[in-house]
Amino acid sequence: KGKRLKQAKEEATAEIDHYRLQREKEFRNKETNVMGSQGNLSAKIEEQTTEAIRNLTSSYHRNMESMMKKLLSTICDISPEIHPNFRPEV
């Protein structure tokens, strides 16, 4: 009877180990699938960010000269006027 109990215990332990290995393998497969998806997403986000930076840089270079001219013309064109509330003292 003791031999059968010992043999049953060993069989149960082997079965548990086999089940544990199978579940760990499934878990690793699912983990690589999820992490692979995240890797693809991060690569896609990086590509979109690079494209946005490139677009902003090209827009900056295209519009910089005209905006500087507008800014300088607005600042440097001085036309002195008397303020409407000014009252000359008599």
Q: CA-CA-CA-CA torsion for 74, 75, 79, 85, nearest 10 degrees? A: 100
What sections of the chain are H helices per DSSP? 2-76
Query: According to the model, what pLDDT value does residue 71 have?
Result: 93
Tokens of residue 55, six digits: 């677009």
Query: According to the model, what pLDDT value does residue 90 have?
Result: 66
Query: According to the model, what pLDDT value does residue 33 have?
Result: 81
pLDDT tens-place string over residues 67-80 = 999 999 989 988 88
Question: Whole-angstrom Cα distance, residue 67 to residue 60?
Answer: 10
pTM (2 decimals)? 0.46
Which stretches of the chain drop beneath a pLDDT of 70? 37, 39, 90
Strands, E, within 10-58: which ranges?
none
